Amino acid sequence: MENEILKRIQDYALEEIMGDRFGKYAKEIILDRAIPDVRDGLKPVQRRILYAMYKAGNTSDKGYIKCAATVGDVLGKFHPHGDSSVYDAMVRMSQWWKQNHILVDIHGNNGSMDGDGPAAYRYTEARLAKISNELLKDLDKETVSWALNFDDRFLEPTVLPAKFPNLLVNGANGISAGYATNIPPHNLGEIIEATIKRIDSPSCRLETILEIVKGPDFPTGGIVEGKDGIISAFTKGTGKVIVRAKTEFKKEKGKEQIIISEIPFDVNKAALVSKIDSIRIDKKVEGISEVRDETDREGLQIAIDLKTGANKELILNYLFKNTDLQISYNYNMVSIVNRSPKVLGILEILDAYIAHYKDIIIKRTTFELKTYEKEFNIVSGLMKAISILDEVIKVIRSSKNKADAKENLVNKFDFNIEQAEAIVTLQLYRLTNTDIVVLKERAEELQKLIERCHEILSDEGVLKSLMKSELREVKKNYAVPRKTEIKDEITEIKVDLKEILMLAIATSIDALAVGITFAF
């Protein structure tokens, strides 16, 4: 017995064991948790949320359902990684300041730009946003591959059909073992036009795409500076741009103001206001009398009141340099391609999406062709049966049972087995009352649909035309004007420290003079 146990003992180096285990863990995190798929732009948890809501009928044309129901459904069937991971992903997909086009429509408190957390999922309700239909449409037409869930009880899609390039439109961010991704949102209309251009001209150069896609388009607006950074990101998948707030000088009731109407992407507004106010209190730059957050239902607005005679240009430049009114944004366009993480430029992302969409249309058309051919076969059988109705009824009545009736119809009238099944299954009153004209019209309609399917499957030009037509329809229904302004050059911020010091001294002298006057 002892010898048997000793035979099963194997010696391994600790480094080998740890390396093997960590490698498996890292692969799991990269592929199934943190990095989005290049085809539909979704991480597994996001895909599972959308699919679970779709399967439950929680769509945009129905009423809201408690978020707790969706979280429980996703946890119990597809994503056993904790309720916070599911609800956090669900909330993020509903926040307009994080996504160019929200995928989940939450009714209730879903957080804020000030960093406030959402209400607990037992208080909020949700349904799919309308544009999510474009990601999920045709899912039931054998368009994608499916995999067993964690306990082999259910099937889940490995990717969604996705009728627009969601990875570029809504962007993505995530951190995994050894990999991180940071893809900013882009304008849907521009991305669709770039996709159509790439379909028409598969060998077009980056310069052509840059004429269409100007750069990132953040839901919070702002100004992006640095065309070289955009070109680098679109070419290599990595690059840096400067994002700054949109500001203007305004005079209100005789007072000079700096009005901030748009802030950089992913900046906490409350923290930004607090930082500016702390600069005022600490008098790091003189001239600010008050800072107010005037954001309301009409839109974002931060007002900075300036003292009489304040150097507004100096104050604004100081705030750009020392607060999140200006930030740097680093592109790192990592996504999953064929079950491997890769850094991709915009051309590679568009090509991967086009290949996916082409595959979806081919599979969908093949499915529809089979469906139409099956129905045409049945309609043809019914038309033939009606033309010899009395003889058909006679044969059915003389048959022993259903199976015998089917066999007799096949042998006597040369029906195929599917047609015979339809005839014996149909109730007699429906068979006798079916209008032959209606059947003929349906047969003609089906013939046209079958011909159309054959055209799509056999002619590359027809397939491409269909792809472009469907993309234009998505653009027509969901495209919005660009929010973010793009500037080629990075504006240099000049803050004269000597001037700030002289201003502080002058202010101190004025304050001292006022104090002496009051004393006398």
Q: N- to C-terminal Cα distance for the chain?
A: 105
Secondary structure class of 375 (helix, strand, coil): helix
User: What is the spatial distance between Cα 219 and Cα 206, in angstroms, rounded to a whole number?
Assistant: 25
Instruction: Return phi, psi of residue 256, to 5°.
Output: -75, 140
Give yes or no for a contact between 254 and 520, defined as CB atoms under 8 angstroms apart: no
Annotated active-site residue in 12, 121, 123, 353: 123
How far is the C-alpha of 504 from the C-alpha of 105, rounded, in Å?
50
Active site residue 123: yes
Tokens linked to 454: 């054959």
Q: Which of 365, 337, 339 is nearest to 350 (CA)?
A: 337
Distance CA 149, CA 48 (A): 10
**Cβ(416)–Cβ(410) under 8 Å?**
yes
- The CB-side HSE value for 127 (13 A sphere, CA atoms) comes to 13
DSSP secondary structure code for residue 479 in this structure: -
> Which phi and psi angles does 345 have, rounded to 5°?
-80, 175
Smallest CA-to-CA distance from 121 within 160, 158, 94 is with 94
Instruction: For residues 203 and 212, give the distance between their C-alpha atoms in angstroms, rounded to a whole number.
Output: 16
Residues in the chain: 520
* C-alpha pair distances (Å), 68 with each of 75, 130, 371: 10, 21, 38
Residue with tokens 């020392």: 322
* Contacts for 89 with CB less than 8 Å, ≥ 6 apart: 43, 45, 46, 49
- Calculate the alpha carbon distances from 257 to 42, 136, 210, 289, 309 in Å: 43, 48, 37, 10, 12
Give whole-number Cα distances, 393 to 136, 290, 386, 429, 432, in Å.
45, 92, 10, 11, 10
CA dihedral 310, 312, 318, 324 (to 10 degrees): 130
* Catalytic residue annotation: 123
